[in-house]
Structure 1
Amino acid sequence: MANDNPLLDLDGLPRFAHIEPSQVAPALDVMLDETRATVEARLSRAPGPGWDDAVGPLEAAETRLKRFWSPVAHLNAVADSAALREAYNAGLGRLTSYQTGYAQDERVYRAYQAVADGPDFAGLSEARRKVVTNALRDMRLSGVALPAAPKARFKAIQERLSELTSRFEQNVLDATDTFSLIIEDEARLQGIPASVLAQARAEAQRRGRDGFLLTLQAPSYVPVMTYAQDRALRRQLYEAYVTRASQAGGGRYDNTTLTDEILVLRQEAAALLGYPHYADYSLATKMARDAAEVETFLTDLARRARPAALKELADLKVMAQADGISLEAWDTAYYSERLKERRYQFSEEDLRPYFPLPRVLEGLFTLTERLYDVRIRARRDIEVWHPDVLFYEITDPDGASRAQFYLDLYARERKRGGAWMDECCVRQRHPIPSLPVAYLTCNFAAPAADHPSLLRHDEVETLFHEFGHGLHHMLTQVDEPAVSGINGVPWDAVELPSQFMENFCWERDVIDLIGGHYRTGAPVPGDLFARLRSARTFQAALQMLRQVEFALFDIRLHAGFDPTTGSVHALLEAVRDEVAVLKPPAFNRFENSFTHIFAGGYAAGYYSYKWAEVLSADAFGPFEEHGVFDRATGLAFLHNILERGGEADPRELFARFRGRAPCIDALLKQSGLYETEEGA
């Protein structure tokens, strides 16, 4: 019975404890039938010029369909199984087909155009005007104006791309989960922190093995690369990691042919719409004007960072040479940590005992409450997809509920790596009011038998980053789902709230709030914090060049490159020849696991991280001037940025908050590169 299907219960939160893969297909049948019926009923008559008559029902139907699919897509990312993957892939193809057809429906286009041309358009709210203009733009970008044959081809391309990008991501997940390495000789694990070894031993025991089990999941891989004294072990894990989903990694989950086909189809789709290449098609919805502007931005950053990066690399090579080693890619994290320890008498592991995850969460919530005048409380009465998942509610001072969020913090098998925020529900007032609800996902080490999950400082930054995305989604005051929260925000501005939040992790007052020794509660010692601060710009130039390398590769890959006549790997190598100061080994196949651009929505948009970092560094200036807990500054950021979602141009919103356009100087100073540039 349809009524028994929990996926069709859209009146409240998803009933995760009751969802089964077998329910996906029949629920999708019902939802697509209902959506089509609503759309057809609306389009069967000539649209009036008003919002309520012309496009309100269409917007509501599309929002309802997205809300239905949200838990399916989320479970596919955090609780993968063969049955769910099959149901998800089949459903995704059907959903993509429907959505592309809808975006190409000339009747839908005319309905929105009637509103745009109508006498009441100027009187609509800023949000509704933006919904209409965005919808008209996006339908043009979906081929609504194409003749019949090219329109059909564009639709087929989108359906195929949906299938390919999903397979790409699943191959990376499978390649990551398939690898494991048992180490029985503990002497080979010298240097690795005891807490990591305890987790590795527990994981081996869980699988019925003796010794220590290492994986390519971040809580295992990163400590090995950073601390393991056994160079051969570091190389073994490094090679496994950078050859995931490639022929060099065994070929079982090889993504090479997928990347080529994805690129060919993206270029064909862009050409059908008259764009010279996919990059300019992608940038039609972003702040950057075209690929040339992105190239200029990135090469300028590379020029500024390269002199300092060469010095940073030289320091690393000296350290490695002292051990009789010629520095290779599997040595950089290890010797970077040794150099940091020597230069600053500081190691990330020194801080780990001071960042127990429960204390960090409590402090993060308190910071949010003080800045934005809200309250955050846990709830235990909500269905979740795993026992470790937490659930929270955000309320206004008067107790009125404002938003909710799920928190899935720990790494495990069949869960996608990395960290992200996604939407469960979007804020809306019509036709049925609903609160914004977010999924916040990380992959930290789980608690051990004798202590809670203990975070490195960079993991604290990750948590703050994703919570920043979450606040952008949850604290919005925009009632139109298409531009509420992160919706409608240009991709190269969407990282502003997330990167902005990272800045608080470097402030003493915030460290005292989020940090305390997990056994004694003692605050982070002053000298340890001073060393942390002094190390903030450690290897900032190398890190910047690494991001520029990825972003240049991305933009050039989508700006005229033809995989039928050239090699994706060769293009990446050419970018490295231009930008990188230490090239990885020939067997490196990073591109085969670059999910951001081949599966994660960042195609021709990876530059967004550095672009938005300019905004976020500059936006933090008033907090440095007035204090990190200054309520007036926090409310100004809330009202001008977080609450406004995608209803206005981000340049305008930034200017409302900062009183001027963004300036790159703040990022250069924050990265320790401003003086380098001045002295060049």
Structure 2
Amino acid sequence: MSLKRKNPLLNEFDTPFGTIPFSLIHPEHFLPALKERIAEAKESLVIIKDTAEAPTFQNTIEPLERIGRDVHLVSSVFFNLNSAETSEEIQTVAQEFSPILTEYSNDILLDPKLFDRVKTVFEAEKNNPSLTPEQKTLLKKSYKGFVRNGALLGEEEKTKLREIDKKLSQLTLKFGEHVLQETNDYELVIDNEDDMAGLPGFVKEAAAETARHRNHEDKWVFTLEFPSYIPFVTYADNRELRKQMTIAAGSKAFRDNDRNNEEIVRQIVNLRLERAKVLGYRSHADFILEERMAGSAQQVDEFLDELLKKAKPAGERDVAEVADFAKKTDGIDQLQRWDWAYYAEKLKKEKFDINDEILKPYFRLEKVVDGVFEVAQKLYGLTFTANKDIPVYHPDVTAYEVNDANGKHLAVFYADFFPRATKRNGAWMTSFKGQYVENDSEHRPHVSIVCNFTKPTASTPSLLTFNEVTTLFHEFGHALHGMLANGTYETLSGTNVFWDFVELPSQILENWAYEKECLDIFAKHFETDEDIPADLIQKIKDSAVFMEGYQFVRQISFGRLDMAWHNRTEPFEGDVYGYEGSAMEATELLPKVPGTNMSCSFSHIFQGGYSAGYYSYKWAEVLEADAFEHFKEKGIFDKDTAEKFRKNILSAGGSEHPMTLYKRFRGKEPDAEALLRKAGLSN
């Protein structure tokens, strides 16, 4: 029997819409499949390089775009499972898988013969333009991809680059494994119900369920998974236990054990800097930001500094108000970080008569999902139908087939909502297959959103906090960007856009969750099916900017920490704790907690793709605030506005420069004041 018959990753998938046959795939399949697909890709590369024909867009750039598509499929399945359904076996494979993939990428990008052909096409187009805007973008991206990965270097520098990339691929994986292990291992076991005073019933019920799952009968267990941690520090009256949880969360991968990430942070920072310098850049930030809307580290620093000037006075007022409230309520002399969520929530309840305990009954997960689907139907004509014949990688995952307004198949959508030990914390959108057109045949995308919401219990369905509602809308906005992709080339399709543009579709959709016209669709009491009262919706809107100054400064602090690590021009050999403290000093609104460190568990920048890019959340907020003002002018479900947004933003992907696309939608550049108006910080 041939290898291809034994390894499901090397066969055509005999499944609905060619979806991934997860149940057939085991950890031992990944490395052989990766090596086989890489070997096939290299054979195709030889054909491109050795053709006697003069290099053209059609015989060089387009086939280069197609090469490795099967490699990408194997790697996307692998890395998505490593994030959402990992195991010790998968993590072991990852240590070999990532370096092989990195080496393959370098084999292409450091191939002088291949680069010569790409360069020839690039130079010819500069002198005699003949391509469509999308083709020009692909050509520029292809050429710069080679140059930015060392194609112009000498052999010694190319070898050094390969060594750096291999080390980085291993270190970023190890960083994430440490954070996941630290998250999974911690538990706060409570056997005295008095220690849970202040916690809503739904929180205690979930903790009892966790205790049973972790073999702590007749007790309650709280973990560092967000659906457990956030409610505890928000509602628990026991200040000492809030402190314990806060320190535990803040010390992940910073404790004195074999999962400490301090040295890994140093190595990642220094290797990224070394790589940038080998390529001729001043810093890693300069290298990254060359391919972003912001353009430069200086522009990012100025952007964050300007926001900080506007936001910090409001943040200081927010903290002073909560501190005064805590003093008046409980005699707290010094507001600490473990007090912030607790007293801010009590103050919010006092000012607006609203909190999660009041709201959660109206946000049953299934109803919210139906609601976000209806929003997509009203805006873009999409329909979602659950299909149990589509394989999934875990029983908690639901797969949907997505059709457009004409009933044409548009995408496959996976939804994975509940925490488990095999899944990393947080929420994200990802894809298993991208969208592209080849030989007049369109290949539609398979996309997924992964979240960590409270699981249903024996007596209560999964009820979301309002923050979780906006999280679902956020990730679904990313998913729409993927599902509505309508390009020719996969590497320019869907979410393959500049990193500081990719958050626009996600962040703009959050706005719908605050609007009565939208909430009336799905916000119904899980027991009575009554609509959410109009006065409660108004309270949601009224409280939308509550403590926004504090939250604004907090996000800026993360962006500045990211830039402090990645805009360095000299290697870092110092104290991670002290360096972080200096970087965040100007944005600290609460006393620092000894023994905690953000950097050692800052997965966005040390494991994910946000290095020198965390500022992009705020950058995209400027875009989405301005764009949503346009929707509000016309009506949030206005078909013409939605069609302009779909055509010029969601479906266009990275086919042109994002500012070109944005102005085509909006008719002008974004107004930065729109964000300040939205946040209530405008003068």
Name the TM-score class by shorter chain: over 0.9
> Is the CA contact (8 Å cut-off) linking 1:101 and 1:155 kept in structure 2?
no
Equivalence for 1:153: 160
Deviates more, 1:106-115 or 1:537-546: 106-115
- Which amino acid in the other structure matches residue 457 of structure 1? F
**Does residue 214 of structure 2 align to residue 181 of structure 1?**
no
Instruction: Select 2:484's aligned residue among 445, 451, 475.
Output: 475
- Give TM-score, length-normalised by structure 1: 0.97
1:321 and 2:315 correspond:
no
Q: 2:318 — aligned with what?
A: 312
One-letter amino acid of the counterpart of residue 311, structure 2: A
Which of 546, 549, 554 aligns to 1:546? It is 554
Q: Structure 2: how far apart are the matches of 1:650 and 1:258?
A: 34
Partner of 1:97: 103
CA apart distance, 1:60 = 1.1
Q: Is the 8 A contact 1:24 1:88 kept in 2?
A: no
Amino acid across the alignment from 1:436: P
370 and 564 in structure 1: CA distance in 2 versus 1, 3 angstrom threshold = closer
Give the Cα separation in 2 of the matches to 1:563 and 1:595: 21
2:266 corresponding residue in structure 1? 260
Instruction: Tell me whether 1:45 sits opposite 2:51 in the alignment.
Output: yes
1:445 maps to which of 443, 448, 454: 454
Matched, 1:389 2:397: yes
1:466 to 475, 483, 489: 475
Aligned position for 2:495: 486
Paired with 1:239 and 1:223, the residues of 2 have a C-alpha distance of 16
- The SS at the match of 1:406 is strand
Deviates more, 1:610-619 or 1:342-351: 342-351
Q: CA deviation at 1:123?
A: 3.5
Q: Is the 8 A contact 1:393 1:401 kept in 2?
A: yes
Q: Which runs of 5+ in 2 are unaligned?
A: none
- What does residue 426 of structure 1 align with? 434
The answer to whether residue 645 in structure 2 is matched with residue 637 in structure 1 is: yes
**Residue 162 (structure 1) aligns with:** 169
CA shift at 1:621, angstroms? 1.1
Q: Which moved more, 1:315-324 or 1:533-542?
A: 315-324
Deviation of residue 463 (structure 1)? Answer: 0.5
CA contact (8 A) 1:10 1:68 kept: no
Amino acid at match of 2:284: Y
Cα distance, 1:603 vs structure 2: 0.6
- 1:214·1:220 contact (CA, 8 Å) conserved in 2? yes
- SS in structure 2 at match of 1:620: helix
Q: How far off is 1:111 after superposition?
A: 2.5
2:174 partner SS = helix
**Structure 2 SS opposite 1:302:** helix
State the Cα distance separating 1:406 from its structure 2 match.
0.8
Q: Is the 8 A contact 1:405 1:439 kept in 2?
A: yes
Q: What is the aligned partner in structure 2 of residue 335 from structure 1?
A: 343
Residues 208, 220 of structure 2: 8 Å contact kept: yes
CA distance in 2, matches of 1:190, 1:108: 67
**How far is the alpha carbon of 1:50 from its aligned partner?**
3.1
Shift in Å at residue 565 of structure 1?
Answer: 4.3
2: CA distance between counterparts of 1:479 and 1:406? Answer: 23
Q: What amino acid does structure 2 have at the position aligned with 1:176? A: T
- How many angstroms does 1:80 deviate by? 1.3
Q: Could you say if the C-alpha distance between residues 565 and 160 of structure 1 is closer, same or farther in structure 2, counting changes exceeding 3 Å?
A: closer
Letter in 1 for 2:85: A
Offset at residue 608 of structure 1 (A): 0.4
Does residue 575 (structure 1) correspond to residue 583 (structure 2)? The answer is yes
Deviation of 1:413 (Å): 1.1
CA contact (8 A) 2:560 2:584 kept: no
Secondary structure at the counterpart of residue 444 of structure 1: coil
SS for the counterpart of 2:436 is coil
- Residue 46 (structure 1) shift: 4.2
2:355 aligned residue: 347
Contact 1:500 1:616 in 2 (8 A): yes
Distance 1:415 1:340 in 2: 32
Instruction: Give the secondary-structure state (helix, strand or coil) at the position aligned to 2:651.
Output: helix
Specify the alignment match of 1:244 in structure 2. Answer: 252
State the alpha-carbon separation in 2 of the partners of residues 46 and 144 from structure 1: 22
Retained in 1: the 8 A contact 2:437–2:487? no
Tell me what 1:74 maps to. Answer: 80
Q: Does 1:201 align with 2:208?
A: yes
* Cα drift, residue 630 of structure 1: 0.9
The farther-off stretch of 553-562 and 25-34 is 553-562
Aligned match of 1:414: 422
In the alignment, what sits opposite 2:539?
A: 531
Q: Please, which of 83, 90, 105 is the counterpart of residue 84 of structure 1?
A: 90
- Deviations 1:132-174, CA, capped at 9 Å, x for gaps: 1011112111011000001110111011101101110111000
SS at match of 1:641: helix
Moved more, 77-86 or 558-567: 558-567
Letter of the structure 2 residue corresponding to residue 68 of structure 1: V
Is 1:362 aligned to 2:362, yes or no? no
Deviation at 1:131, TM superposition (A): 1.0
Contact 2:37 2:68 (8 Å CA) reproduced: no
The 1:80/1:144 distance shift into structure 2, 3 A limit, reads same
Contact 1:407 / 1:440 at 8 angstroms: preserved in 2? Answer: yes
> Does structure 2 retain, via aligned residues, the 8 Å contact 1:21–1:87?
yes
Q: Report 1:508-519 matches (<5 A).
A: 508-519=516-527
Post-superposition offset of 1:47: 5.0
By how many angstroms is 1:577 displaced? 2.0
Of residues 136, 140, 152, the one that matches 1:133 is 140
1:397 shift after superposition = 2.1
Question: Mind listing any 5+ residue stretches in structure 1 that lack a counterpart?
Answer: none
Match in the other structure for 1:28: 34
Q: C-alpha distance in 1, partners of 2:640/2:596?
A: 49
How does the TM-score come out when normalised to structure 2?
A: 0.96
Paired letter, 1:321 = K
Measured in 1, the distance between the counterparts of 2:77 and 2:545 equals 40
Q: CA deviation at 1:561?
A: 5.6
**Which residue does 2:223 correspond to in 1?**
215
User: How far apart are 1:89 and its partner, in Å?
Assistant: 2.2
Identity %: 35
Cα distance, 1:612 vs structure 2: 0.7
- Distance in 2 separating the partners of 1:100 and 1:123: 30
Distance 2:581 2:184 in 1: 27
User: What is the DSSP-based 3-state SS (H/G/I as helix, E as strand, rest coil) of the residue aligned with 1:229?
Assistant: coil
Instruction: Give the Å deviation of 1:10.
Output: 4.7
Task: Please tell me the residue identity of whatever aligns with 2:175.
Answer: F
> In 2, Cα distance between the equivalents of 1:568 and 1:104?
34
